[in-house]
Amino acid sequence: MPDRLEYLGRVQKFINVLVESAKTNSITEQDFYLVLGAKAKSMDQERREQRLTKEIEKYIRKRGKVYKREIIEKFSLQWKVLSDIENNLIEKESIYIMNLKPLPGSGAGRSKKVYIAIK
């Protein structure tokens, strides 16, 4: 099965287990639909996160070096969501992070994170 259709195998296995549970009266009809809906929602969220991760990776690769704040503003993300994507991209060895500390004498400030694409 091609990669783009890989999700069908996962869904089919899940539905088969669900159907068997319904046949043995392990779950009610209402629970069947609730679980099926929750699974669909979960898979859709996973798909959206993968697409967003690819978009951010492409953006960083195109620019070479990008500040974390810039990614948050451009893609309208929350810190937690970006942290998950950041960890994913580091795991894939697509980026590394460089922390820039404020210059001495420039006053109080937080260090800035810069994402740098790994070629």
Domains of the chain: 3-117 (1.10.10)
Q: Binning pLDDT at 50, 70 and 90, where does residue 63 land?
A: very high
| DSSP letters spanning 35-84 | HHHHHHHHHHHHHHHHHHHHHHHHHHHHHSEEEHHHHHHHTT--HHHHHH
Whether the predicted pLDDT of 101 surpasses 90: no
Mean pLDDT score of the chain, rounded to an integer? 87
> Residue 91: in which H helix or E strand, if any?
helix 79-91
Closest CA to 83 of 49, 108, 47, 118: 49
Angle at 118 between CA 66 and CA 85, to 5 degrees: 60
Mean pLDDT across 57-70: 93
Per-residue pLDDT of 73-83, as tens digits, reads 999 999 888 98
The pTM score is 0.71
Task: Please tell me the distance from the alpha carbon of residue 1 to that of residue 8, in angstroms, as a whole number.
Answer: 9
Query: Which residues sit opposite 9 in a β-bridge?
Result: none
